[in-house]
């Protein structure tokens, strides 16, 4: 059974996504609807298919989506930190993933050099302020 | 050298801990072979023919002696006492043990080294001109820009699972010594009329099974926009690059499918939304990164006029010593192309001796070149003779830089699981055939590159002569190409009396980046040296003067005369050819 984690907790009874984007989908095509949605999922059909990371950032940064952004499909422990940086805040782990391992996956790296959905200011701008 | 700050160091340390945990989970059976594969590749670890292979990043080829000593020490304690410098300016260890790799990475981190993103479908090590910062024809010092791109690409969350690997090269001089036209992205650092830095952006070049010369999509990108523009290119590629076929997944295929104008439109449309956003570079950040580079404290010296006599020292000086922007200094190539030694291989003992020499002669720094040699970038001309004697004693002073025996070669079938054929023994056979230095110098500048399979790690497509190993019914055969060229490089030392950089130096190659053409059916391994000899004889008979290089002649007359010299008439059988070659 796939487990959904959000805010570093297991979600007991997840609500189904109102919209699921496939990797080839263009987020711009759904832009008008996003304001009314509370749960949008992006599907990762393969472990190494990285298109959804761009989709996540576009939904958050370009189209201003504020609701739950859920990664579904081949979502594994070692993806989580990257996904979180790209704007995902809910993760439906694929079957067989160790949930305890997954819950600590967000702390592997303490910084990001880049501008991301989770941290729009790149490290060099934050360094400059510090 | 770029010196890490506290955050750079912390990230590398955290990456080591992360990989240690991933390895632990794999060995405990909690990570599948496939999943672990994606993770270990992003830490440079392959599983090869006989053992794992670890590819250690040497960012833009710049290395301190402290780091080189650590590499020597690691190669001795965790491997078999040697390493292999690759065409991506990295160092490969061919025999580490999988369960010891986290320990190796931890040791590397103590000297600000790592193996991050040296493999896998992500942005790889940034490469540049091995004479960056010292070349007389330099426009912009490329190192700081390379480091800015290194930081941008390191753990980029959006671009960690690209359709395929992604290689970026930066060149900051008039001559292109970074092969920028055969990279996924090539960047030429330029200056506008006011002296402000910007970049010519080239996309879609690459070697491999579908070699393509890249195309310019922007003539001048002002420096503040460097990272947002890279983001735009990578985003278009990440979303639209093919993922259904491994062999069509590189950006060059997407650029071809869209056409360069179409691809440019998509990138510019994406960039319009990212431009001036938070990822826009600031002058303060560029200054900060520049200031973290150590720079040599040059003495105030004058250039030395060397006598032109025909001595072994002068032979070495003409080939292996290069001009420098600072009077009284020179850059020196330490040749890793001695006959009988696999190209790019160095033992731990040699690494330590090289480190000692770099401390005494070149401010404790060195560079790795994409031609698999090392460079001491800042040597006083007055000390060249002493350095030459010491290098000679170590077998590192072969005076063959730019010549036929300075062969680029991948590890090939002796090591690599992908190879169809061996490449190192072929290189050695050729080096043995052309062991006469006078003859070699008479032939003049010639790049000979060998790859053991179509993945083209030995850059055979851009060799003036390129050799590709192919498999025919389980036997090793070799396909020969001629006329390839890595780019508009400097032709150095072509005038035998001239000190490189003096008015006698001939300047830029008349030919830009180009891909070789196959001359005919593949040949057996034993035939390779004879075929090369035929090509050389044909060239010598056709050249206008000793200033016309092999590749210039191929571009002037085409491949036909060369083809004929090797194959005779078109339906010649292999037996005929052997008889003809033996005659």
- Number of C-beta neighbours around residue B76 at 10 A: 17
Q: Determine the distance in angstroms separating the CA of A126 from the nearest CA of chain B, rounded to an integer.
A: 11
Average of per-residue pLDDT across B293-314: 94
Tell me: the pLDDT tens digits for A46-99? 999 999 999 999 999 999 999 999 999 999 999 999 999 999 999 999 999 999
pLDDT at A6: 96
Determine the Cα angle at B135 with ends B132 and B140, to 5°.
Answer: 55
Rounded Cα gap, residues B574 and B582, in angstroms: 12
Given a cut of 90, whether residue B453 has pLDDT beyond it is yes
- B-facing residues of A in 10-29 (CB < 8 A) are none
Tell me: the pLDDT tens digits for B522-571? 999 999 999 999 999 999 999 999 889 999 999 999 999 999 999 986 56
Given a cut of 60, whether residue B493 has pLDDT beyond it is no
User: What is the tally of structural domains in chain A?
Assistant: 1
Given a cut of 90, whether residue B58 has pLDDT beyond it is yes
End-to-end, the C-alpha distance of chain B in Å comes to 55
Given a cut of 50, whether residue B499 has pLDDT beyond it is no
Of the listed ranges A89-98, B352-361, B507-516, the one predicted with least confidence: B507-516
- Model confidence at B52, pLDDT cuts 50, 70, 90, reads confident
Nearest residue in B to A47, CA atom: B35
- Nearest Cα neighbor of B460 from B405, B512, B517, B501 is B517
Write down the residue that tokens 């920028």 correspond to. Answer: B180
ipTM of the assembly?
Answer: 0.98
φ/ψ bin of B456: left (φ > 0), alpha (ψ from -120 to 50), beta (otherwise): left
Complete edge-to-edge strand list for the sheet that includes strand B321-322: B62-64, B365-368, B374-380, B329-334, B321-322
CB-based contact B487:B541 (threshold 8 Å): no
Average of per-residue pLDDT across B225-231: 98
Given a cut of 80, whether residue A129 has pLDDT beyond it is no
Q: How large is the angle between the packed helices B226-240 and B251-274, nearest 10 degrees?
A: 130
pLDDT at B21: 96
- Number of C-beta neighbours around residue B13 at 10 A: 16
- Residues of chain B neighbouring A114 (CB-CB closer than 8 A): 152, 156-158, 279
Tell me: the pLDDT tens digits for B308-355? 888 999 999 999 999 999 999 999 999 999 998 888 999 999 999 999
Residue B409 token pair: 């070669």
CB-based contact B377:B331 (threshold 8 Å): yes
Residue B295 token pair: 């720079």
Tell me: the pLDDT tens digits for A20-51? 999 999 999 999 999 999 999 999 999 999 99
Q: B575 or B423: whose pLDDT is higher?
A: B423
**Contacts of B29 by beta carbon, 8 Å cutoff, 6+ apart:** none
| Residues constituting chain A | 130
Rounded Cα gap, residues B2 and B294, in angstroms: 7
- Residues of chain A neighbouring B151 (CB-CB closer than 8 A): 113, 123-124
pLDDT at B328: 97
Rounded Cα gap, residues A5 and A91, in angstroms: 5
- Nearest Cα neighbor of B141 from B322, B335, B294, B276 is B294
SS (H, E, C) B524-541: EHHHHHHHHHHHHHHHHH
Give me the sign of the Cα torsion angle B260, B265, B270, B276: positive
What residues make up the domain containing A12?
3-129
**Any CB–CB contact under 8 A between B286 and chain A?**
no
- Which 3 state secondary structure label does DSSP give B220? strand
Contacts by residues B280-285 (CB-CB < 8 Å, ≥ 24 positions apart):
B280/B224, B280/B225, B280/B227, B280/B228, B281/A124, B281/B148, B281/B223, B281/B224, B281/B225, B281/B226, B281/B227, B282/A124, B282/A125, B282/A128, B282/B224, B284/A128, B285/A124, B285/A125, B285/A127, B285/A128, B285/B148
- Nearest Cα neighbor of B563 from B549, B552, B577 is B577
Q: Determine the distance in angstroms separating the CA of B8 from the nearest CA of chain A, rounded to an integer.
A: 9
Rounded Cα gap, residues B397 and B387, in angstroms: 9
Average of per-residue pLDDT across B73-86: 95
CB-based contact B100:B57 (threshold 8 Å): no
Distance of CA B534 to the CA centre of its chain: 28
- Model confidence at B45, pLDDT cuts 50, 70, 90, reads very high
Average of per-residue pLDDT across A17-22: 98
Q: What domains are defined for chain B?
A: 6-109 (3.90.480.20), 127-286 (3.30.413.10), 312-393 (3.30.70.3340), 408-582 (3.30.413.10)
What does pLDDT average to over chain B? Answer: 93
Complete edge-to-edge strand list for the sheet that includes strand A68-73: A9-10, A3-6, A90-93, A68-73, A39-44, A19-21
- Tell me which residue in A85, A101, A113 faces B152 most closely, judged by beta carbons: A113
Rounded Cα gap, residues B438 and B355, in angstroms: 31
**Any CB–CB contact under 8 A between A126 and chain B?**
no
**Any CB–CB contact under 8 A between B14 and chain A?**
yes
């Amino acid at each position: 059974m796939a487990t959904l984690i959000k805010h570093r907790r297991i979600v007991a009874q997840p609500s189904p996504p109102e919209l699921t984007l496939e990797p080839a989908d263009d987020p711009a095509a759904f832009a008008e609807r996003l304001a009314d949605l509370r749960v949008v999922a992006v599907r990762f059909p393969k472990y190494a298919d990285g298109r959804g990371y761009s989709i996540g950032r576009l939904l958050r940064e370009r189209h201003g989506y504020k609701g739950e952004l859920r990664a579904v499909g081949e979502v594994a422990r070692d993806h989580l930190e990257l996904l979180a940086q790209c704007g995902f805040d809910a993760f439906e782990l694929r079957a067989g993933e160790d949930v305890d391992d997954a819950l600590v996956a967000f702390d592997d790296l303490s910084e990001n050099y880049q501008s991301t959905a989770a941290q729009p200011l790149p490290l060099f701008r934050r360094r400059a302020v510090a | 050298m770029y010196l890490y700050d506290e955050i750079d160091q912390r990230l590398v340390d955290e990456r080591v801990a992360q990989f240690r945990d991933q390895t632990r989970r794999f060995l405990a059976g909690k990570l599948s072979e496939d999943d672990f594969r994606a993770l270990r590749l992003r830490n440079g670890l392959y599983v090869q023919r006989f053992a794992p292979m670890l590819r250690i990043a040497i960012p833009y080829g710049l290395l301190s002696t402290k780091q080189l000593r650590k590499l020597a020490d690691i190669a001795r304690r965790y491997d078999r006492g040697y390493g292999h410098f690759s065409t991506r300016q990295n160092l490969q260890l061919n025999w580490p043990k999988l369960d010891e790799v986290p320990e190796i990475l931890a040791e590397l981190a103590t000297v600000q080294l790592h193996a991050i993103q040296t493999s896998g479908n992500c942005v790889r090590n940034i490469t540049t001109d091995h004479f960056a910062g010292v070349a007389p024809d330099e426009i912009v010092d490329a190192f700081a820009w390379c480091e800015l791109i290194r930081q941008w690409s390191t753990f980029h969350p959006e671009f960690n699972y690209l359709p395929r690997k992604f290689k970026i090269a930066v060149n900051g001089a008039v001559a292109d010594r970074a092969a920028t036209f055969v990279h996924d992205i090539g960047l030429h650092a330029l200056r506008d009329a006011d002296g402000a830095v910007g970049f010519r952006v080239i996309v879609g070049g690459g070697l491999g099974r579908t070699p393509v010369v890249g195309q310019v999509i922007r003539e001048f990108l002002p420096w503040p926009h460097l990272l947002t523009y890279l983001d735009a290119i990578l985003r278009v590629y990440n979303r639209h690059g093919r993922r259904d076929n491994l062999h069509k997944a590189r950006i060059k295929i997407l650029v071809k499918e869209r056409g360069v104008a179409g691809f440019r439109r998509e990138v510019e449309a994406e960039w319009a939304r990212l431009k001036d956003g938070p990822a826009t570079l600031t002058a303060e950040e560029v200054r900060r990164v520049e200031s973290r580079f150590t720079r040599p404290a040059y003495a105030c010296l004058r250039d030395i006029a060397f006598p032109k006599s025909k001595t072994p020292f002068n032979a070495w000086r003409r080939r292996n010593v290069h001009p420098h922007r600072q009077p009284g200094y020179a850059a020196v190539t330490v040749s890793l192309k001695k006959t009988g030694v696999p190209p790019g291989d160095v033992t731990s003992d040699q690494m330590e001796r090289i480190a000692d020499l770099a401390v005494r002669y070149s401010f404790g720094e060195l560079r790795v070149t994409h031609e698999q040699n090392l460079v001491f970038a800042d040597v006083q001309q007055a000390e060249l003779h002493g350095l030459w004697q010491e290098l000679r004693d170590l077998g590192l002073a072969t005076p063959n830089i730019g010549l036929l025996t300075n062969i680029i070669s991948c590890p090939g079938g002796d090591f690599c699981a992908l190879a169809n054929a061996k490449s190192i023994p072929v290189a050695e056979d050729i080096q043995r055939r052309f062991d006469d230095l006078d003859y070699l110098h008479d032939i003049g500048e010639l790049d000979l590159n060998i790859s053991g399979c179509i993945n083209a790690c030995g850059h055979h497509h851009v060799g003036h002569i390129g050799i590709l190993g192919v498999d025919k019914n389980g036997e090793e055969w070799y396909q020969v190409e001629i006329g390839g060229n890595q780019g508009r490089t400097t032709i150095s030392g072509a005038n035998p009396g001239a000190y490189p950089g003096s008015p006698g130096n001939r300047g830029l190659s008349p030919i830009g980046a180009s891909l070789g053409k196959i001359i005919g059916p593949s040949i057996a391994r034993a035939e390779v040296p004879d075929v090369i000899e035929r090509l050389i004889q044909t060239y010598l008979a056709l050249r206008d003067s000793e200033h016309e290089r092999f590749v210039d002649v191929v571009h002037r007359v085409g491949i036909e005369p060369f083809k004929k010299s090797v194959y005779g008439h078109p339906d010649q059988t292999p037996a005929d050819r052997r008889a003809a070659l033996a005659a």
